Chain A
Amino acid sequence: MRRDTWWKVPVLVFLGLSTFIVYSTWAAFQGVHYTYGPYLSPFYSPELFGTSEHAWFGLKPNFWPGWLPFSPAFLVLWAPASFRLTCYYYRGAYYKAFWADPPSCAVSEPRKKYRGENSFPLILQNIHRYTLYLALAFMVFLSWDAIKGYFFDGGFGIGVGSLVLTVNVILLGGYTLGCHSLRHLVGGGLNRFSQSPSRQCAWKGVTCLNKKHQMWAWMSLFWVGFTDLYVRLCSMGVWTDFRIL
């Protein structure tokens, strides 16, 4: 029986992930206050259909059932969510914190049956590399949003929000580009690096980020939520977006 405070980390993970899930779900259902000036909340990017000037294809599509609530976030938020859900780091963390499978290392479990990731539904975790492809596409969209965040009424400028959006892209980049699946795809599948120096170089780069994958995962999760909160509160007039330039 472990005598240290083994329960601290799983409890913190449970609280951290639960807070994010509750907040992001609430924010996605709002459907308003997701833009402010050139800023677009990352929960709503890319805005495929919507009422703001960021929308790619105009207003809510006609095929959307009238009885179903609509928010531009519903069309996009599932993609980055699936990337985090199937992420190797998060899997280990939420199996412990939410399923007690196990509660912590060398701590007994509350159930006897165990099938691991061998059968449905957890066998679906193997689609992680496909969710990575989506996440990489989102990196492009969010980078474009961050660049647009420096242009106010057609002229260049820097607001605090511009920096918030930029930091968001940097942290998401650190997390996405350190992905275990990406590490495998760029070079980890090779046995002879000497035959492919460019892939070895890419593998080393991803490995460098991958070593701190947990840190990037939490920092990017916190910041993407904060970015939405920042845009939302500015849009609601609660916070003022100070201009630096």
Chain B
Amino acid sequence: MAKTKFKIWRGDGKGGEFEEYSTETSGGMVVLDAVHQIQAESANDLACRWNCKAGKCGSCSAEVNGMPKLMCMTRLDELPLEEGVTIEPIKTFPIIKDLVTDISWNYRAKKKIKPFKPRQPDNEDGSWTFYQEDIDRVQEFRKCIECFLCQNVCHVLREHHLEEEFIGPSALVYTAALEMHPLDTEDRLEDLKKANGIGYCNITKCCTQVCPEHITITDNAIIPLKERVVDRYYDPVARIWSKLTKRS
């Protein structure tokens, strides 16, 4: 067992600073284990949101050595421990206390998306018929655990705070799940272009890079949505073609 130094941000919405702690670490430990150990040994009032410790609840998002990560999925042996480990709350959202932030904006952004609107049932018993190949693509988006690391790393929100104009990658993944669903009939393209601001995304792929569920956010959700917006608003040939073939 070796002692490792941790610098953990302590404070609230009014301000705060990094405080140093030292605790014994061993192979197999994750950052969240160390935070719990520090809580138990020397900082009983350290606030930290967590739940499953298995990378599935999305609660323990933080910035470890400056990189957005789930603390429960970040192994200490993958970090340069000799330099110490810095842990701070995710930067994009308002701090409540220590490592806990107010992520409620993400749920408000999600509410801006028009809900699922299925077509009329295919069968007399009120059920629908569709095939696995129709739903395969959408299933990737259902893996989202709403950890909001993608929202946190997106520079449109993180640096420019355009929360009123842009709903962020996580909400775009949700939009893609609805928009590409084989039963859905709702039209979200106007919202995507205007109210939800998909044009603000400049495809840096940071959201994909930090996603703990390895959802290919940019390539499989955002760019296909951008292309659908292009169909409607920027491609005159596609518009004429869709009118001729009566496709929406």
Contact = CB atoms under 8 A, between A and B. Distances in A.
Nearest to A126: B234
Interface string A172-185: 00000000110111
Contacts of B223: 88, 180, 184
Contacts of A128: 230
Interface string B64-87: 011110000000000010010010
Contacts of B29: none
A2 B86 CA distance: 10
A1 B209 CA distance: 17
Contacts of A117: 199-202
Interface in A1-16: 1-4
B199 A123 contact: yes
A126 B199 CA distance: 10
Interface in B138-183: 153, 155-156, 158-160, 162, 166, 179-182
Contact of A105 (B86, B166, B206): B206
A188 interface: yes
Contacts of A134: none
B53 interface: no
Interface residues of B, number: 50
Contact of B134 (A116, A180, A194): A194
Contacts of A112: 160
A210 interface: yes
A166 B80 CA distance: 46
A108 B159 contact: yes
A128 B219 CA distance: 15
Chain A to chain B: the 7 pairs with minimum beta-carbon distance, closest first: A105-B206, A2-B66, A184-B227, A116-B200, A118-B199, A126-B234, A92-B203
B197 A118 contact: yes
Contacts, number: 127
Contact of A96 (B63, B204, B228): B204
Given A112-B160, A129-B227, 13 more contacts: A2-B65, A102-B159, A105-B204, A106-B153, A109-B159, A114-B160, A128-B230, A184-B228, A191-B134, A191-B179, A192-B134, A192-B182, A213-B219
Nearest to A99: B202
Contacts of A105: 67, 153, 204, 206, 209-210
Interface residues of A, number: 44
A2 B160 contact: no
Contacts of B68: 106
B231 interface: yes
A180 B156 contact: no
A127 interface: yes
A95 interface: yes
A194 B205 CA distance: 30
Contacts of A96: 204
Contacts of B206: 102, 105-106
B182 A191 contact: yes
Nearest to A112: B160
A60 interface: no
16 contacts: A3-B65, A89-B203, A92-B218, A102-B155, A105-B206, A106-B158, A114-B156, A114-B200, A116-B156, A117-B201, A117-B202, A123-B199, A181-B230, A189-B231, A192-B130, A192-B182
